[in-house]
Amino acid sequence: MADAQPDIEIFRQQLITLRTKLLALEATGAEAADTVELDQTRVGRLSRMDAMQAQAMSQASNQRRRETLVGIEAALGRIDSGDYGECRECGEFISTKRLEFDPTIRLCIACAAKAE
């Protein structure tokens, strides 16, 4: 049930745009993930707990952002090598709708279901 080869240039532009947005967010996310100051004379215990929770959430967001950037770079590499949109398992073209949902995806729906 694979589609024909997708329009690569559309996906290249989507990936580049997403990469640009994520890199811009990376600068602001680094500040939020900095170490929380634990000086009890300056900040109350609940405020410190809130700050530590915000720090943990920011660190998790930064990790997801880095993982997404790695996926984007890999997808752009596949575009350059000419095998973007091909399933890494079976070699069939991945559905265009699936690529539209996640342009970094590497498996067709059937192979992804088998992998789970």
The answer to the question of residue 95 being in a domain is no
The answer to the question of residue 53 being in a domain is yes
**Token pair for 26:** 């990376």
The answer to the question of residue 109 being in a domain is no
State how far the alpha carbon of 116 is from the alpha carbons of 75, 84, 110, in Å: 21, 22, 10
How many angstroms separate the CA atoms of 108 and 116, rounded? 13
- Chain centroid, CA 55 distance in Å: 20
Q: What is the pLDDT of residues 70-113, one digit of tens each?
A: 999 999 999 999 999 999 999 999 999 999 999 999 999 999 99
The answer to the question of residue 38 being in a domain is yes
Q: Residue 63: which domain range? A: 8-84
Q: What is the pLDDT of residues 5-38, one digit of tens each?
A: 668 999 999 999 999 999 988 877 655 555 555 5
Helix H, strand E, coil C: the string for 31-99 is HHCCCCCCCCCCCCHHHHHHHHHHHHHHHHHHHHHHHHHHHHHHHHHHHHHCCCCECCCCCCECCHHHH
The answer to the question of residue 80 being in a domain is yes
Can you tell me which residue has the tokens 């900040």?
43
On the 0-12 / 13-18 / 19+ scale of CB atoms within 10 A, 24 is: exposed
- Check residues 49 and 45 and name the one with the higher pLDDT: 49
The answer to the question of residue 57 being in a domain is yes
The answer to the question of residue 17 being in a domain is yes
Confidence (pTM): 0.73
Can you tell me which residue has the tokens 């998790």?
60
The answer to the question of residue 19 being in a domain is yes
Number of domains forming the structure of the chain: 1
